[in-house]
Amino acid sequence: MKKIQQLLLLIFAGFSIQAQQPLSLNDAIAKALENNYGIIIVKENQRIAEIRNNWGNAGRYPYINLTAGDDNAYNINNTENYTNNRFSAGAALNWTIFDGFSVRINKQRFEEFEQLSKQNTAIMVEGTIQSVILAYYDVLLQKEKLKNWEEVMQLSSDRYNLAEERKAFGTYVTYDVLQAKNAYLTDRSGYLLQEVNFKNSLRDLNFLLAEQNEVTYTLTDSFKAVPIDYVLADLQSQMFENNKSLQNQYVNQRLLENAVAAAKSNFSPTVDFRGGITATANRNNFAERGESWNNSANFYGNFTLSYNLFSGGNRKRAMEIAKIDEAIGLVETDEMKHELNNSLSNLYEFYLLRQELLTLAFENLEAARLNLQLSKERFESGAINSFNYRDVQISYIAIAQRELEAIYNFIDVHTALLRMTGTIIQEYE
């Protein structure tokens, strides 16, 4: 029986070790980039664009068709019956030699689509990294909040126990004990609610990592903010060079230029070549005279020059529309640059504000913690009543939670700043 108990303990210990896994922020990002559903889909779309980017798909190479046939017949007539077998084979080549450089234009378009797909992948990667960072630190935030509630709950428990003791000695009445008990139960409720928030944040992180099993991670990174002094001009330079949405807009503009070139190519003539060979072998097998063969081969090669002389003005209108679209694209690019620059300036100001609020939150928490310690001593010595001490406790938990929120909010705005400047991938790769 003792051996069985030891075996069960080892099994459950193994389950516990398997369920509790250490996880750093970099490990979480790596897991998400490998397993995240959105990342997998966008990478497959990128593969499709890479496959399509091919000279054959652009129309450079000829088409070659092979044919083979076997016709059989048995003829019955008054003179002599015979069997006829006709074997045929052929090869045909169709090649558009020139069509206004559309092959090169098509290849350039496929290259731009591949580049656009890569940029979309990068945008998805950036968004995933940002989401994982915020989810990771949200778990740490909820965990720290849980610690604060645990600390306050312990203080309320001590106060409740002290009230019970003082009531036993006759210095407290039932009303005082009930006040202490209500405070403890309130803090206990806050702790339990925060425990649910902590578990939910872990579940959200697991979803981003595409974890199928209920894995409970132990996050190894510390919950802290590291302010960095940025220069707005440097951030603007990085944004115009690296921002993935802006890079996508540049690709779209090149696609509009490609559409203008394609519309111009429609005014050019087309030169086609059609060539091939056909061979036949005809066999007649007569009942009395025996068999005879008749073989033939045919070679051909034809060039065709065609030009669309008039199409009701469709080509001209298509050209005008393509040029207008190109002009609209330039305006949209300028608008995006202006909008991004304005958003970056606002985000930078917000970053500076969050940095200042972070400093104030640290100072405020130090003062609140000292006030709580002094109030605890004064309450235990009887210098202040339970109502004053409870007010200090409520103030402390509020200030402690605001300090944690200030850290998380700073991490949030810092991450958004890195993404807008297009440097978040380099920061966490």
Residue 122 lies in a domain: yes
Same-domain check for residues 180 and 263 = yes
Type of residue found at 42: V
Same-domain check for residues 417 and 342 = yes
Our measurement of the distance from residue 360's CA atom to the centroid of its chain's CA atoms, rounded to an integer in Å, reads 35
pLDDT digits (tens, 9 = 90+) for 205-253: 999 998 876 778 899 999 999 999 999 999 999 999 999 999 999 999 9
Residue 114 lies in a domain: yes
Same-domain check for residues 345 and 239 = yes
Same-domain check for residues 172 and 140 = yes
Residue matched to tokens 């903010």 = 225
Q: What CATH number corresponds to the domain at position 189?
A: 1.20.1600.10
Phi and psi at residue 213, in whole multiples of 5°? -95, 160
- Asked whether 392 and 375 are in contact (CB, 8 A), the reply is yes
Residue 214's nearest CA partner among 18, 34, 28 is 18
The whole-model pTM stands at 0.82
Element (H, E) at 46: helix 37-52
Same-domain check for residues 150 and 233 = yes
pLDDT, residue 287, reads: 66
Tokens of 429: 């790769």
Residue 17 lies in a domain: no
How many domains in the chain?
A: 2
Tokens of 42: 């966008």
The DSSP call for residue 100 is S
Domain boundary among 253, 287, 306: 306
Residue 3 lies in a domain: no
Residue 196 lies in a domain: yes
Same-domain check for residues 37 and 89 = no
Whole-angstrom distance, CA of residue 177 vs CA of residue 185: 12
Same-domain check for residues 117 and 74 = no
Domain that holds residue 141: 22-53+100-268+311-428
Give the three-state DSSP class for 282: strand
Which conformational region is residue 365 in: left (phi greater than 0), alpha (psi within -120 to 50 degrees), or beta? alpha
Same-domain check for residues 122 and 243 = yes
Q: What CATH number corresponds to the domain at position 90?
A: 2.20.130
Residue 124 lies in a domain: yes
Residue 15 lies in a domain: no
Same-domain check for residues 215 and 87 = no
Tokens of 215: 């894995």
pLDDT, residue 269, reads: 93
Same-domain check for residues 326 and 291 = no
Parts of the chain with a pLDDT under 70: 1-19, 213, 287, 429
Same-domain check for residues 200 and 127 = yes
Residue 2 lies in a domain: no
Angle between helices 314-381 and 244-265 (to 10 degrees): 170
Same-domain check for residues 262 and 278 = no
